[in-house]
Structure 1
């Protein structure tokens, strides 16, 4: 139970950068990955923009065999395999074709909805009486655990290989689940992360809820505005993030680079009671999640240097900030620096937690805090709670010792993890 858990590899497929170097350059420069999609205009969406990683055919061929590519029609699996494989290699681990699995390595890789386009393709073929044309990969592309199954086979992992799903909390929850497995001594290494499909069949429900911005179709890079007074809803996105968690002794033994240490965290739910509902967080549960994450990590509130929030560019942003001030008992100029990745990527739903964990660890390792894009007009309710200087608009150089990362999801579920400089 005294095992320390560190991060030795990372990978990402984000709307503003595919590959760790491309992604880090993007977040340092406030580069947006949000674009206009003519398909959404044709389908009469109110919000005709979104965040989608750009994957070329040449890049695909570096991660999938011709056989695997035949009939592959799940963007989430594509993003997950790219980020997961990159994280594995970034950790200095090899991919072998040994007959024996790697019993000391496992995978927890989550998703929200997987293979929607494959489902649509399958439904048409079945309705037309062409079931035999479905192909042999339709099941693995549409089952929820398709992403962990793909990665498990590619990497040859013999420990726990599974998929979790908790809406927008999925990626951060996967990381904490992997952390717990290493901490308890059940394995020495876990690949954790999450992915999410793109497109109208994923984003349509949110458009119908009228919680997406509809005034930025001609200016997509300005649309996602976390903590801004002019925020008009979250921009839907997609992608994947992945991290290799490892027992510290194992990492040291093989001379691995260590990005940061995972101190611990907390996962809870507001039970959809009180202020909580299917779509809104119970504030008491959020505060409790933050406080318990600190307690579980043996960290005082005044030790937190930075927060990477959930902060989706909705009316809930100011409520989230209020919850942080109450949980940490810090406000004004005493509040930690805080930022949101979503100004650059949009809200990548089930992929958001893992992508944002990657961005959080990059900041710790690189001694900087990336800027909050489209936050020129900080919401007055937020500026009344914390010093606006704690919301940097551009990248600043800053040594971060401890960073808190939070994710909150539909179903009134919460996850907070604490990372520390190694």
Structure 2
């Protein structure tokens, strides 16, 4: 029996540069930055060293019905908004609930519910703590919310692998469909942790950019003067199904998922392995599963967080796989526009990769001042036209704990 082909039939996203996937894609191509100064009393109250972030362009509780939003942490709100868009975009497939799965990721989970609940406990006592606090703060809440909304009963799974989380979810969905565990899976990720604690903590470990005087240009992957990532928030979702199932119902097909690679550095809890060994193995695994070679790749959406060590390690990984050809492949570092959505970033960047293949155009990387001579990638502040003919791209995600995940995507 032949292995089924897995295709993407629906996409949805709510991001710092747009309330939907099409809005986010248009803003990305136009070089929009979603990063701005934060206008909260707690920024000054706690004298935070970083005073900006990439907040969602549209608040999720303004999209969802109030009774629904009130029972969900913002991380689950973002997940549900993105999933509803993706499901509608896919044509709301008529699928047996027992054959519909959910694989939705997060890096941290319901942090805002946790911290707000702790404040209530300290200030007002246990009787004022919300009875829904635990269901709202648990990291599987986004997956559960999507599952219940769609009546998905095949499974509802959560991945928590830091910034690699939602790329792993996408790969899990791909594997489940090929193994026949479901006919349709909605996969993605979300994050909502723009809070004084996380900003202070990431800043303390020297991970965040401190360009308070120019937040819109703070995320600058591959620039010689990059100084850290920008915290982002939002959610992204993709509807995956077998090609046979999609064609039988007359669905439009965006792209084909053809491979995935997941590895671990086993090196350091926050720093990447300096030579990118785990990352390069993940790329090779994804290409091997795709039945492809490095010569077949026409576009790369890089993890590219704008940290001094992370960008270098990823470049070394890519050069070890692609050799000198890496200098020719159009690369996009889209976090320069969106900030870093942590557990939601992989799903969002997979969507951007799919749309890049569809439009035959690698999106621009903004804020590239002077490119680091140690990272001589083909990257541009303007869109780059992709080559004619079939396209094969990879999207990279790497996270704290040494998690590496790479998905390979082919045009249709």
Which TM-score band applies after superposition, normalised by the shorter structure?
A: over 0.9
Q: Is the 8 A contact 2:117 2:130 kept in 1?
A: no
Once the two structures are superposed, residues 283-332 of structure 1 have per-residue CA deviations (whole angstroms, 9 ceiling, x without a partner) of 22222111121111110110000111111111121231121011122346
2:221 alignment partner in structure 1: 226
1:327 alignment partner in structure 2: 321
Pairwise CA distance, 1:238: 1.2
2:106 alignment partner in structure 1: 111
Q: Of residues 356, 366, 373 in structure 2, which corresponds to 1:363?
A: 356
Pairwise CA distance, 1:128: 5.4
**SS across alignment from 1:17:** coil
Count of residues paired in the alignment: 403
Pairwise CA distance, 1:63: 2.8
Q: Of residues 274, 279, 295 in structure 1, which corresponds to 2:270?
A: 279
Q: Is the 8 A contact 1:71 1:135 kept in 2?
A: no
Q: Is the 8 A contact 1:101 1:156 kept in 2?
A: no
Pairwise CA distance, 1:349: 1.2
Paired with 2:221 and 2:69, the residues of 1 have a C-alpha distance of: 37
2:58 alignment partner in structure 1: 55
Paired with 2:98 and 2:239, the residues of 1 have a C-alpha distance of: 15
For 1:188-199, what aligned pairs fall within 5 Å after superposition? 188-197=183-192, 198-199=194-195
For 1:97-176, what aligned pairs fall within 5 Å after superposition? 102-127=97-122, 130-176=125-171
**SS across alignment from 2:187:** strand
In structure 1, stretches of 5+ residues that fail to align are none
Pairwise CA distance, 1:126: 3.4
Question: What is the TM-score when the length of structure 2 is the normalising length?
Answer: 0.93
Q: Is the 8 A contact 2:169 2:187 kept in 1?
A: yes
Paired with 2:350 and 2:280, the residues of 1 have a C-alpha distance of: 20
Paired with 2:63 and 2:368, the residues of 1 have a C-alpha distance of: 38
1:83 alignment partner in structure 2: 82
Pairwise CA distance, 1:199: 2.3
1:44 aligns with 2:39: no
* Residues 302-311 or 120-129, more deviating: 120-129
Residues 332 and 252 of structure 1, relative CA distance in 2, 3 Å threshold: closer
1:12 alignment partner in structure 2: 13
Paired with 1:331 and 1:162, the residues of 2 have a C-alpha distance of: 38
Residues 129 and 347 of structure 1, relative CA distance in 2, 3 Å threshold: closer
**SS across alignment from 2:375:** helix
Pairwise CA distance, 1:376: 3.0
1:414 alignment partner in structure 2: 404
Q: Of residues 392, 397, 400 in structure 1, which corresponds to 2:385?
A: 397
Question: What is the TM-score when the length of structure 1 is the normalising length?
Answer: 0.91
2:207 alignment partner in structure 1: 211
